[in-house]
Structure 1
Amino acid sequence: MAETKREIERKYEATGETPLPDLTRVPGVAAVTDHGVMELDAVYYDTADLRLAAHALTLRRRTGGDDAGWHVKFPVAPGVRDEIRAPLADTLPGELAGLLRSRVRDEEVVPVVRLGSSRDVRHLVADDGTLLAELSVDTVHAERLPGGALATWTEIEVELADGTDPAVLDAVEKRLRKAGIHPATSASKLARALAETGTEPQEPAAPGKPGTAGAAVLAYVREQAEAIVTYDPAVRRDLPDAVHQLRVACRRMRSAFKTYRRVLDRKVTDPLGQELKWLAGELGVARDQEVLDERLRAHVDGLPDALVLGPVKARLRRRDAARGRHARRQALAALDSARYLALLDRLDALLADPPLRKAARRDAPKVLARAVRKDHGRLAARIEHALSLDPGHERDLALHEARKAAKRARYAADAARPTLGKPAKRLSKRVKAVQSLLGEHQDAVVARTALRELGLQAHGVGESAFTWGLLHGREEAAAEAAERELPEVWARASDPGLGAALTR
């Protein structure tokens, strides 16, 4: 069974003769205790083209020390990584292989570097004996595999203890700098080993001529493709908001294909858009369930006890657990499918050889502004149609369609922000307000359906349906409030000056 550890550390340049300063002068450090030297041996794996290293991902099999086993490291922030550990085995455990699947695809991972480290360990402890940080002086011997160049260096590593204030690292660094010890230029041992023993991973060239519509649109598409691949392991790890972010990336790319169809050939992008729709739909079960669960729980928790009649919370928990498990299984099945891997490969192929149309060669501002205005006009037509209908089911459906158009208009403006600047940013912000209000309306509509179902289930087994009916009424009121507010919010987003500013 894999386990996760948040690793917060900093690395510093050193030589075998670098003296350490007196670290008991660091505020809060009462003692520095010597824990001897341990010998570590690690083999790092990657694809032949170093796909993992190119994205600061690490896969290693290490022996020695107190954490021997297979390790996968994901960057979180500068100096912060999540390390996923699995027990030592001859072959890569399937659970860790799955976390790397969106990067590796069907390629084999092979040994690329071997690192042997003599680690001289010291513990920085508080006056009550609490461990604050571990400092090690590592003498590293790197070998490029198979049978390649060698490199040797010494570095100092300071890792924060679990639950300790990161300010400890700042204080230690201040003391080290005063002693002439400076931060390492390489982010990791692997990065340094690759740099000093052979070829480093190469950044892909940006497609399209700079300043053209093609370059602007492709930069946005590449950003979304990278988000899909990045959030894949986060979904597998069941991290908060991961499903939502992956789904958003699918929608943003799909919207870009539609909005900028004068830039990218539809014969290529339309089939890809259908695959992105499929993936977002498979993930949507989990995300929609998550949103609904949070909404219903919050409403029940907000009721006075006197208005909660019957086993309301228990029934809600059972429903959430059963549907949540099904939704997660469906999402993981999609990510494990051959269809999903084929989609990722096709996105790579599009970016490597983009199907650019004639408009792609034109200056970006004019082409992108025209596309943004067109999507904004589409949103205007849908809102006007929805507001012309009487309240009821047909209006609910029309408002939901307007919400989809609001997302597309917002995404179009977001894609154009690097090119059009503040006018696109203002338009996106105003349209987002419309989208959020329409989202609140749609959430209330969906919640009413769920509450009616829960009320019928409760009634069917002799429980009181009062609470479910009460909440149903509140959702009706929430939807009506959103409808009343919509004209005013839309008026701000439909200001003619916003569209005119895009071309100034």
Structure 2
Amino acid sequence: MANEIELKLQIAPQAAGPVLQWGEAQGEMERRNLRSVYFDTPGRSLAMAGLSLRTRFDGTRHVQTVKAAQGKSAGLFARREWEKPVSSEWPELGADTPLAGLPPQTLDALAPLFSLEVERHGLDIVRGDSVIEVAVDNGIVLADDRRSAFCEIELELKSGAPHALFALARELDALAGVRLGVTTKSERGYRLLDAVAESAKAEFIPLSADQRVEDGFAAIAGACLRQYRLNEDIVLRRHPPEALHQARVGLRRLRSALTLFKPVVEDERYSHFRDELKWLAKQLGDVRDLDVLYDRARSGELRIAIARLREDAHGGLEAVLGSARARALMVDLAGWVAVGAWRDAPDAARGGGIGEFAAEALEKSFRKFKKRSDGLTRLGDEDRHEVRKLAKKLRYGSEFFAGLYTGKKAAKRHARFIDGLQAVQDKLGTLNDLAAAPGLLARNGLDDMAGAEGVLSGADATDTLAKAEAARDALVGLKPFWR
């Protein structure tokens, strides 16, 4: 068994040329054609267990690889792997991998699900005390009658410190405009088997109560980065409103994680990432506002006008997302999460494990929400908006730590608490839309257009506010799941 530490970078196919020229300047690059076949059961038992099984033929021999990962993330992929030569593309299962512990009926049901054909150019380069294997992969994923092309760079740490991977990524970004990679090759295959996704929602984050706080933060931040990047790719390929919404959710969750873990992660780079995430969130928010406005418009003339504004706004957003500033933010943030200076703080400064940290953080967030939301019907628009943001942060924190509360009783309390928060957010969201709509119409020169008044109708503010307060009171009456 070996431990694989790898950073994935996504590039456009036309950007591979400059990278290959750069590689040849470092030394002779080896070119290989690789065919990989991935195996699983029809019910995807291996994927559900966090395992992947493949055989790969490089033109001279077949090699079988089993990989195991703890959850899904972004940035550094740290996985255990078991490799051995085999006689054909069919796996040879033995007692020397995690597969040996699976039920016999699972092993009997293993079959090829998809394959990859990759042209790989690679070489090892030295950066300081580190040796990094650079692989430029131009490939196709094949599943049933579907196919999907991809182009990526894999930086695998052979020896030395992980910092070198991110330094090299910044060097490559100047050549090829790289984006942070968040999907493994096996995930590409599984995604091709599924229906085309219009968005990617937040995923469950596996945590354990005795896990170190810094490792818990890394898992949470990695999940948020992953959610954002998956949706960013969808937004850039198409313009589905839900993907844009989920990209914003990913950024909000990431910003909430920074706030929640500030006592642990604050260092000289903390403010930079906080401010840059706020900037990026605003770029997405300006376009998302038009999506919401379009959905609320009833007049055909108004919808046409908003659609034109949306098209222009999406063009501007694509330019922002393709900028060096936006690309670097994701890569640098992944590097900071993995190997930032904050990780060098004494363990004593971090207190106990993530279980203890979660309970304290959630309690503090809940107290703040209860205090600020008291007398909700008497609050003005701005104060209600602040309450809405506190509710979101409390919900994100509750979702981050869900993996710590999987016992039967705790899980039921957790589900009721999330439902209660959702009810509060829905009502406060409606009120916020009603309060923001006049300014949004005016800023876009639409307030005098026929049908503009219809954007403000459809909900009774007084009734919605009363329901919001009732939902708030019901929530604060629940027994918190973390106690």
Tell me the TM-score normalised to structure 1 length.
0.55
In the alignment, is residue 51 of structure 1 matched against residue 33 of structure 2? no
Q: 1:112 to 1:242 in 2, by over 3 A?
A: farther
Give the aligned partner of residue 33 of structure 2.
Answer: 114
* Cα displacement (A) at 1:228: 2.5
Deviation at 1:327, TM superposition (A): 1.6
2:251–2:277 contact (8 Å) kept in structure 1 = yes
Match for residue 383 of structure 2?
398
Secondary structure of 1:502 counterpart: coil
Worse overlay, 361-370 or 448-457: 448-457
Letter in 1 for 2:231: Y
Contact 1:400–1:438 at 8 Å: present in 2 too? yes
Deviation digits for residues 282-331 of structure 1 (CA, Å, limit 9, x no counterpart):
111121211221122xxx2xxxxxxxxxxx412331x2222102221221
Residues 1:222 and 1:236: Cα distance change in structure 2 (over 3 Å) = same
Q: Distance in 2 between matches of 1:186 and 1:417?
A: 33
> Structure 1 residues 379 and 191 mapped into 2: Cα distance closer, same or farther (>3 Å)?
farther
CA distance in 2, matches of 1:193, 1:454: 53
- Aligned to 1:114, the other structure's residue is in SS state strand
Quote the residue 2:334 is aligned against: 348
What corresponds to 1:159 in structure 2?
A: none
Question: Structure 1 207/275 Cα, relative in aligned 2: closer, same or farther at 3 Å?
Answer: farther
CA distance in 2, matches of 1:211, 1:400: 35
In 2, the alpha carbon distance for the partners of 1:272 and 1:50 equals 20
Corresponding residue of 2:309: 323
Q: Is the 8 A contact 2:33 2:118 kept in 1?
A: no
Give the direction of change, closer, same or farther, for the CA distance of 1:187–1:440 in structure 2 (3 Å limit).
farther
CA displacement at 1:406 relative to structure 2: 0.9
The whole-number CA distance in structure 1 between the counterparts of 2:23 and 2:326 is: 18
The corresponding residue for 1:502 is: 482
2:463 corresponds to? 481
Residues 56-87 of structure 1: CA deviation (Å, up to 9, x unaligned): x8x9xxxxxxxxxxxx8xxxxxxxxxxxxxxx
Letter in 2 for 1:51: K
- Contact 1:140–1:152 at 8 Å: present in 2 too? no
Residue in 1 that maps onto 2:248: 247
CA–CA distance in structure 2, aligned partners of residues 255 and 116 of structure 1: 42
Change in 2 beyond 3 A, CA 1:344/1:419: same
In structure 2, relative to structure 1, the CA distance for the partners of 1:434 and 1:324 (3 Å cut) is same
Please state how far the C-alpha of 1:468 moved relative to its aligned partner. Answer: 4.1
Q: Per-residue displacement from partner, 1:231-274 (whole Å, max 9, x unpaired)?
A: 22211112522211211111101101111222222543332111
Residue of structure 2 equivalent to 1:336: 322
Structure 1 counterpart of 2:338, which letter? A
SS of the counterpart of 1:188? strand
- Equivalent position amino acid for 2:300 in 1: K
What amino acid is aligned across from residue 425 of structure 2 in structure 1? Q
- TM-score, normalised via structure 2 length: 0.57
CA drift of 1:425 comes to 4.2
- 2:422 equivalent in structure 1: 432
**One-letter code aligned to 2:294:** D
Amino acid at match of 2:238: D
- What residue is the counterpart of 1:380 in the other structure? 370
CA offsets per residue over residues 30-61 of structure 1, 9 Å max, x none?
xxxxxxxxxxxxxxxxxx96726xxxx8x9xx
For 2:112, the equivalent position in structure 1 comes to 184
> Secondary structure of 2:374's match?
helix
Whole-Å separation in 1 of the counterparts to 2:87 and 2:448: 69
Mapped contact 1:382–1:402 kept (Cα < 8 A): yes
- Check whether the contact 1:231–1:246 (CA below 8 A) recurs between aligned residues: yes
1:265 lines up with 2:266 in the alignment: yes
Instruction: Assess if the C-alpha contact under 8 Å between 2:6 and 2:155 holds in 1.
Output: yes
2:448 aligned with 1:457:
yes
Does structure 1 conserve the Cα–Cα contact (< 8 Å) formed by 2:34 and 2:120? no
How many Å separate the matches in 1 of 2:478 and 2:35? 65
The corresponding residue for 1:364 is 354
For 2:463, give the aligned amino acid.
A
Count of paired positions = 328
Matches of 1:217 and 1:425 in 2, distance apart?
A: 22
Instruction: Return closer, same or farther for 1:238/1:208 CA change in 2, 3 Å cut-off.
Output: same
C-alpha contact (below 8 Å) 1:142/1:152 kept by paired residues:
no
Where do 5+ consecutive residues of structure 1 fail to align?
1-47, 60-71, 73-91, 98-103, 118-138, 145-149, 156-179, 301-311, 390-394, 459-464
Deviation per CA, 1:170-190: give whole Å up to 9, x if none. xxxxxxxxxx99622775344
Distance 1:321 1:380, change over 3 A: same
Distance 1:108 1:449, change over 3 A: farther
C-alpha distance in structure 2 between counterparts of 1:113 and 1:239, whole Å? 36
Question: Hey, what's the Cα distance between the residues in 2 that align with 1:407 and 1:382?
Answer: 13
Rounded to whole Å, the distance in 1 between the matches of 2:219 and 2:282 is 25
Indicate the residue corresponding to 2:301 in structure 1: 314
Which residue of the partner structure matches residue 68 of structure 1?
none
Match of 1:493 in 2: 475
Q: Deviations over 1:451-500 (max 9, x none)?
A: 67877534xxxxxx5x544x26625x4322210101210012112522xx
CA distance in 1 between counterparts of 2:273 and 2:208 reads 20
CA distance in 2, matches of 1:418, 1:237: 33
1:368–1:201 Cα change, 3 Å? same
Residues 207 and 366 (structure 1 numbering): CA distance in 2 closer, same or farther, change over 3 Å?
closer
Counterpart in the other structure of 1:225: 225
Higher relative contact order (CA 8 A, sep 6+): 2
The amino acid that maps onto 1:322 is R
- Given that residues 366 and 394 in structure 2 are in contact (C-alpha distance below 8 angstroms), is that contact kept between their aligned partners in structure 1? yes
Question: 1:348: Cα distance to partner?
Answer: 1.9
State the secondary structure of the residue aligned to 1:293: helix
2:293 corresponding residue in structure 1: 292
Secondary structure of the 2:32 match is: strand
Match of 1:83 in 2: none
Please say if residues 388 and 429 of structure 2, whose CA atoms lie closer than 8 Å, have aligned partners that are also in contact: yes
Q: For each residue in 1:355-385, what CA deviation from the matched residue of structure 2 results, as whole angstroms up to 9, or x when unmatched? A: 1454535122221111111112222222226
Task: Say if 1:142 and 1:193, in contact at 8 Å, map to a contact too.
Answer: no
1:237 aligns with 2:165: no
Question: Which SS does the other structure have where 1:184 is aligned?
Answer: strand
Q: Distance in 2 between matches of 1:333 and 1:273?
A: 22
Question: What is the CA-CA distance between 1:230 and the residue it aligns to?
Answer: 2.4
Check whether the contact 2:34–2:119 (CA below 8 A) recurs between aligned residues. no
1:409 has 2:394 as partner: yes
User: Does structure 2 retain, via aligned residues, the 8 Å contact 1:213–1:360?
Assistant: yes
AA paired with 2:266? D
- Would the alpha carbon gap of residues 417 and 51 (structure 1) be closer, same or farther in structure 2, given more than 3 Å must change? same
Give the Cα separation in 1 of the matches to 2:260 and 2:109. 52
